[in-house]
Amino acid sequence: MTELPESIRERAKELRREINHHDYLYHVLDSPEIPDKKYDLMMNELIKLEKEYPGLFTPDSPTQRIGGKPGEGFGTINHRVPMLSLGNAFNEGELRDFDQRVKSKLDSKNVQYVVELKIDGLAVSLYYENGIFVKGATRGNGETGEDITTNLKTIPSIPLKLKDDLTIETRGEVYMTKTSFLELNNTREEAEITPFANPRNAAAGALRQLDPKITASRQLSVFMYSIGYYESNYFSNQEQLLNFLKTQGFRVNPHYYLCQNINEVIDYCKIWQDTRFDLNYTIDGLVVKVNSIDYQEILGNTLKNPRWAIAFKFPPEEAVTKIIDITLNVGRTGALTPTAILEPVSLAGTTVKKAALHNDDYIKEKDIRIGDTVLVHKAGDIIPEIVGVKKEKRSGEENKFKMPSVCPVCGADAVRQEGEAITRCTGAACPAQLQEGLIHFASRGAMDIEGLGPAVINHLVNKGLVKNVSDLYYLCKEDLVKLERMGNKSAKNLLEAIDKSRSNPLYRLIYGLGIFHVGERTARLLAQHFKCIDNLINAEENEITVIPEIGPTIAKSITTFMKQDQNLTLIEKLKSAGINMHAQNENTREKLQGLTFILTGTLENFTRTEAREKIESLGGKVSSSVSKNTDYLIAGDNPGTKINKAKQLGINILNEDGFQYLIADD
pLDDT > 70? residue 29: no
Annotated domain spans of the chain: 6-66, 88-313, 319-400, 425-588, 596-663
Of 188-202, 392-406, 503-517, 627-641, the range with the lowest mean pLDDT is 188-202
Q: Write out pLDDT tens, residues 111-166.
A: 999 999 999 999 999 999 999 999 999 998 888 989 999 999 999 999 999 999 99
Burial class (CB in 10 A: 0-12, 13-18, 19+), 631: middle
Pairing of β 596-600 and β 632-635: parallel
Tell me, what's the pLDDT at 71? 46
Secondary structure of residue 18 in the 3-state scheme: helix
CB atoms within 10 A of CB 508: 24
Tell me, what's the pLDDT at 26? 62
Q: Which residue has the higher pLDDT, 26 or 263?
A: 263
Q: Please report which helix (H) or strand (E) contains residue 76, including its range.
A: strand 76-78
Contact 181, 196 (CB under 8 A): yes
- Per the prediction, the chain carries an average pLDDT of 87
CATH number assigned to the domain covering 596-663: 3.40.50.10190
Class of domain 88-313: alpha beta
Whole-structure pTM over 0.85, yes or no? no
What single letter denotes the amino acid at residue 302?
A: T
Closest among 512, 536, 516 to 525, alpha carbons compared: 536
Burial class (CB in 10 A: 0-12, 13-18, 19+), 607: exposed
CATH number assigned to the domain covering 6-66: 1.10.287.610
What single letter denotes the amino acid at residue 13?
A: K
Secondary structure of residue 132 in the 3-state scheme: strand
Tell me, what's the pLDDT at 587? 47
Would the CATH topology of 319-400 be identical to that of 425-588? Answer: no
Q: Which residue has the higher pLDDT, 37 or 521?
A: 521
Rg (CA), the chain: 30
Tell me the CATH architecture of domain 425-588.
Orthogonal Bundle (1.10)
CB atoms within 10 A of CB 9: 14
CATH number assigned to the domain covering 319-400: 2.40.50.140
* Angle in degrees, CA 521, 413, 523, rounded to 5: 10
Confidence of residue 68 (pLDDT cuts 50, 70, 90): very low
Of 97-106, 243-252, 655-664, the range with the lowest mean pLDDT is 655-664
d(CA 256, CA 245) in angstroms, rounded, equals 13
Average pLDDT over residues 227-249: 89
3-state secondary structure 192-220: CCCCCCCHHHHHHHHHCCCCHHHHHHCCE
List helix spans (H) across 351-484.
Answer: 360-366, 434-442, 454-462, 477-480
Is 103 considered catalytic here?
A: no
What does residue 532 show for φ and ψ, rounded to 5 degrees?
A: -150, 160
Burial class (CB in 10 A: 0-12, 13-18, 19+), 341: middle
d(CA 307, CA 323) in angstroms, rounded, equals 46
d(CA 158, CA 88) in angstroms, rounded, equals 28
pLDDT > 80? residue 332: no
Confidence of residue 27 (pLDDT cuts 50, 70, 90): low
Active-site residue, from 109, 118, 163, 246: 118
